[in-house]
Structures are given as C-alpha cells and as structure tokens.
Structure 1
Amino acid sequence: MAISKRLLNEGEQVVIDTRTHVKALLWPLILLVVLLAVGTYSEVTLDNRTFKWVIWAVLLVGIVWFVLRPVIIWATATYTFTDRRLITRNGVIVRRGHDMPLARISDIAYEFGPIDRMLGCGTLLISDASTHGTIRLHDIPRVEETQRRVNEMLQHIHDRSGGHEGT
C-alpha cells in the first residue's frame, strides 16, 4: 500500500500510510451475497433458459457496478502523511491527488460513532487556514492514534520553526 517513492521529495519520509477502513466494503459484500442468492434462486426455480440468462446478465452488471467498482475504488485510494505533507490519491481511470503541507494545518480532530468505535475507525477532520475549510478523511483505521501522531508531527514542525525565528 505504500505510496510510490517517486511522489516523495528528496529527504521526505512517510510517517503514516493508510486507506479507508475495510468497513467500506461491508455493503458491497452484503450486496454480493444477495445478488448471488437471487441468481442461485432463479437458477433453481425457473425453467425458462432465456430468462435465466437475462437474470444472470443483470446480476453480472449489478456485481460489476455495486461490488467490483467499490472494491477497486477502495483499493486505489490512499492517505499518506509524510514528515512534510498530507498526500491523498484516489481514482482508477482519472487519478486525483491533493497535497497539503503540514505547516498549513491549523487543526486536526476526529469523530466516530458507536459502529466506528467497534470497528476501530473514524473520520479525521483536517482544517487549514485557507478558504478550503476542512478536509474529511472518512473511515480512517485507528483514527485516534493517527490524530495523535499527526499532532506530534505538527508540534515538531512548530517547535522547529519557532526555534529558527528567535535566532
């Protein structure tokens, strides 16, 4: 899952490299089971061979769109914190990326509900001083630990920059 080394600047180190929690695949998995059950039921109960093929064709389209597509989207999206910036990448055909220097982050918080707590994930809220507002990274695994580590990196950046201003 590690981000490509060619996306890093010289001397830049990856601190946190993650993707959306596997919880994002729960509904596609449930839907896959339901679609396969419908296909199996139609195979067993229907006599019309043409109608069976039509049902399987529709189910195949449903599996590709509602199951395979979300899995591919999940597998290709990454969130990476380096010692200098936040790097987000997503997309299959059209890749999208967003980089934010850590020095621009003004606040980092998290939120999670009861299900998120049970699964160990949550939403990371990253605010900067610009007009862009808050970046929401949904379903981040171990969100509390991630927030703590990013806060440590931010403190280190501010300590470093504060030390240079007085000299």
Structure 2
Amino acid sequence: MSYKNLSYTISNFFVMLFMYVFVSHRYSKPKTITICAASFLAIAVPNVLKLNIYPDSRLCYFLVTIYQIAMTQLTGLLISKRRDSKTLFVGLSGSNYVVAGSIMAAILHICTGNLYLCIAGCIVTHVAILLVLYTKIQDICLKYQEETMQSWWKLCLIPVFFYCGFSSFT
C-alpha cells in the first residue's frame, strides 16, 4: 500500500474516532461503534478509486471527496442524540482535526522517504491532538450539545472556510 493510501486511511479512521468522541450518542456504545466502523469502511474504500484506479482524474477525486464529506457528516447526524447544527459543526471540525496528521505524514515522507516513519508520525500527531482535545474540551463540547441554544449554523462556516482555504493552498 502506498504512502497516500495509508495516510488517507489513517485520516479516515481518526475522523470517525473524533466523531465518536465528540458527538453525544443517540445509541448504545456498541451500536455507535458499529455505525462508525461501517462509515469508516464506506469512506476509506473509495480511496482506491481516487488514488489507484483513477489517480489522474480530477472528476473522480472531486466526486469521491464529496461522497466522503457527505458520509462523514451523515455519520455524525446518525449517531448524534440531537441532529442539528451543533452536530454538523463537530463533523466539520473533525475534518479539520485530521489535517495536522496528514501534513506531518507528508513532511516526513518528503524529508525521509521512509514510509514507516511518515505513518508513525501521522498516527502520533493524530493521537496527540486527539488526547489534548479529549482531555481539554470533550466535556465542554458534549455539554454544549445538550444545551438548548441558538442555531450554530453560522459557526459551521468557520471549519468549512478553514478547510476550503487550506485546501486551496495545497
């Protein structure tokens, strides 16, 4: 498996883990884990299309990416106790969370060419950030999801614009 395949798969795994950790659950723990695992497979498998079968097709890359974004957001809405803009905000933030691990993998791959080192760096970065977020803001995040507040639709623009802005530079 190539560096890109592994990096994308790891990012897909960690975005689902982020969703599991930061979305208040509607279902039991085993059922929520099963939904997240199925969603992980549903978003990871199409990477083969865009990275291996049609690596030079911009249309394929675009369509698969849109599908993956939709599946990620639908997973959040499916597992969430409240299916609202707060859940969407968490899902969009999860997509941004995995950017740092992907950057670390790319830097290590370019600098060393060592597949194992770049994958280890990617995983360590994802785990380190997730642990910090988990210990510092998980309780706050879950608490705010339970409170009745105004809509978070405008807040959803923050992670969207960050991701779009970052993607336009790469």
Q: Structure 1-normalised TM-score?
A: 0.30
* Higher strand proportion: 1
TM-score by length of 2: 0.30
Larger radius of gyration: 1
Structure number with greater CO (CA < 8 Å, separation at least 6) is 2
